[in-house]
């Protein structure tokens, strides 16, 4: 139908683009609200909640720049500029906490990141569905157990008197070690616990990615005589590489997010040296020590750095895969 010319005016009616009678902006909004007020009513509680419980504290962050006193309140306390931040960066404990946070995150990444991938690949190679399902049921479980219980289990297992670990050491004639009071043992125990608790559950993301690989790829590889080992390397891993990279970027973006609840549950003054992280530092200084303004300054620093990291990670992963975090 190439010979068909563009068809301008034919029927007489409404041919010219009509001038739209522009109702006033206010009138348009009123009309819209009259029609759709209900969805705004549905949104209102959530937005109000966010304002009261999450945005109002952001306003409260100003105490990081103030000499906060409970009696004067947030608004009326005097401004003191960056004094708290100066103190903060001259504070050995804070610097130590910052260092510990980064070190523990880095170790967590180094040892913790590959395990779920490995698990997913291994699950994928299991032939018996029953075996696979039962194993998955078991390894997902710790994810749902509270940190208090996990910490309780760790403390019991590593206890110097009755703990299973020391009992086992005893079989080899080794002296019992009071693990949880030794700074050099804190990080391995903390990171090991994290892997034990979360690796299974984290493998779900990769298993889903593997499930998305087209079976025809494997079928043609079988026809070509590939072994399972070769198929894993040549098909499965390359196929889930994008997922791996995105998860890695996200993990790096969240590097300041140490599960400090677990740290609080496991550390003690003897291990602060290696165990204290930024959030536990804030907890002790602020909530236990009452230095709200100083602790808030540490928190603000933490939040800003975390925000920048997360946004950067989000941007990169968006660019990488056109799928963003949220």
Partner 1 sequence: MANMNLYSRGDKLFVIVNMILIGLFAISTLYPFIYITSLSLSTGFEARAGNVMLTPVEFTLEAYKRVLIEPQFWISYRNTFIYTIGGTLMSLAFIIPGAYALSRPQLYGRRFWNLVVAFTMWFNAGLIPFFLNMRDLGLLDSYFGIIIGFAVNGFNIILLRNFFEGIPQSFEEAARMDGANEFQVLWKVYVPLSKPAIATVALFCIVSRWNGFFWAMVLLQDEDKIPLQVYLRHVITELTDDESFGAELINAPYSVETVSAAIIVCSIIPILLIYPFLQKYFSKGILLGGVKE
Partner 2 sequence: MAGFAKTGGDMSGVNLQGLVKAYGAVQVVHGIDLDVQEKEFVVLVGPSGCGKSTTLRMIAGLEEISDGDLTIDGRHVNRVAPKDRDVAMVFQNYALYPHLNVAENIAFGLRIRKTPKDDIAQQVQEVGGILGLTDYLERRPADLSGGQRQRVAMGRAIVRRPKVFLFDEPLSNLDAKLRTQMRAEIKRLHKRLGVTSIYVTHDQVEAMTLADRIVVMHDGRIEQIGTPMELFLNPANTFVAGFLGAPPMNMITAQIVAGDQGPVAEFGGQRIVLQPLPSLQNAVGKTVTVGIRPEFAKAVDDSQPDRVSIEVDLIETLGSEALVHATLQGAPFVIRTDTVGQMEALGRIGGFTVDAHLVKVFDGETGLALPGQVLNQ
According to CB under 8 A, which residues from 28 to 87 bind partner 2?
Answer: 31-32, 35
Residue 54 Cβ vs partner 1, minimum distance, rounded to whole Å: 5
194 CB-near residues (< 8 Å, 6+ apart): 108, 112, 259, 262
Residue 92 Cβ vs partner 1, minimum distance, rounded to whole Å: 21
Q: Under the criterion CB under 8 A, does residue 184 sit at the interface with partner 1?
A: no
> CA 52 to CA 172: how far, in whole Å?
58
> Residue 70: is it exposed, middle or buried by C-beta count within 10 angstroms (0-12/13-18/19+)?
exposed
Q: Binds 146, which of partner 1, partner 2, none (CB < 5 to 8 A, cut-off by type)? A: partner 1
C-alpha distances (whole Å) from 227 to each of 69, 82, 121, 224 are: 70, 63, 15, 9
Nearer to partner 1, 112 or 299 (CB): 299
1-60 binders of partner 1 (CB under 8 A)? 29, 32, 36, 38-40, 42-43, 45-47, 49-50, 52-58, 60
> CA 25 to CA 178: how far, in whole Å?
72
Give the one residue of 14, 116, 164, 275 binding partner 1; rule: CB under 8 A.
164
Q: Under the criterion CB under 8 A, does residue 24 sit at the interface with partner 2?
A: no
For residue 315 the two structure tokens come to 């941007």
Q: Under the criterion CB under 8 A, does residue 65 sit at the interface with partner 1?
A: no
Residue 128 Cβ vs partner 1, minimum distance, rounded to whole Å: 8
Q: Under the criterion CB under 8 A, does residue 310 sit at the interface with partner 1?
A: yes
Nearer to partner 1, 104 or 266 (CB): 266
CB 321 within 8 A of CB 313: no
Q: Which window, 13-21, 101-109, 265-273, 293-301, contacts partner 2 (CB under 8 A)?
A: 13-21
> CA 181 to CA 240: how far, in whole Å?
41
State the DSSP code for 180. G
Residue 101's nearest CA partner among 233, 254, 265 is: 254
Q: Under the criterion CB under 8 A, does residue 21 sit at the interface with partner 2?
A: yes
Q: Binds 21, which of partner 1, partner 2, none (CB < 5 to 8 A, cut-off by type)? A: partner 2
């Amino acid at each position: 139908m190439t010979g068909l010319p563009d068809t301008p005016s034919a029927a007489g009616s409404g041919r010219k683009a009509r001038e739209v009678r522009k109702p006033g902006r206010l009138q348009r909004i009123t009309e819209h609200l009259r029609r759709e007020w209900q969805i705004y009513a549905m949104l209102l509680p959530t937005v109000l909640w966010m304002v009261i419980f999450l945005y109002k504290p952001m306003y409260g962050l100003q105490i990081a720049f103030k000499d906060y006193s409970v009696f004067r309140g947030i608004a009326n306390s005097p401004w003191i500029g960056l004094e708290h931040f100066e103190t903060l960066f001259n504070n050995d404990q804070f610097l130590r906490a910052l260092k510990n946070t980064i070190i523990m995150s880095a170790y967590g990444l180094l040892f913790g990141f590959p395990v779920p991938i490995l698990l997913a690949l291994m699950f994928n190679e299991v032939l018996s569905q029953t075996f696979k399902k039962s194993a998955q049921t078991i390894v997902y479980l710790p994810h749902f157990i509270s940190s208090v219980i996990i910490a309780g289990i760790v403390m019991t297992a590593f206890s110097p008197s009755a703990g299973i670990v020391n009992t086992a050491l005893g079989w080899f004639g080794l002296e019992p070690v009071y693990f949880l009071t030794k700074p050099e043992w804190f990080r391995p125990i903390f990171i090991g616990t994290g892997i034990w608790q979360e690796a299974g559950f984290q493998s779900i993301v990769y298993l889903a990615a593997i499930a998305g690989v087209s079976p025809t790829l494997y079928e043609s590889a079988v026809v070509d005589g590939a072994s399972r080992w070769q198929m894993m390397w040549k098909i499965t891993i390359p196929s889930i590489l994008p997922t791996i990279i995105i998860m890695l970027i996200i993990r790096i973006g969240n590097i300041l997010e140490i599960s400090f609840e677990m740290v609080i549950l496991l550390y003690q003054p003897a291990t602060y040296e290696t165990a204290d992280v930024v959030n536990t530092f804030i907890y002790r200084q602020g909530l236990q020590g009452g230095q709200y303004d100083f602790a808030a300054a540490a928190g603000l620093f933490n939040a800003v750095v975390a925000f920048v990291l997360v946004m950067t990670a989000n941007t990169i992963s968006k660019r990488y895969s056109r799928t963003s975090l949220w």
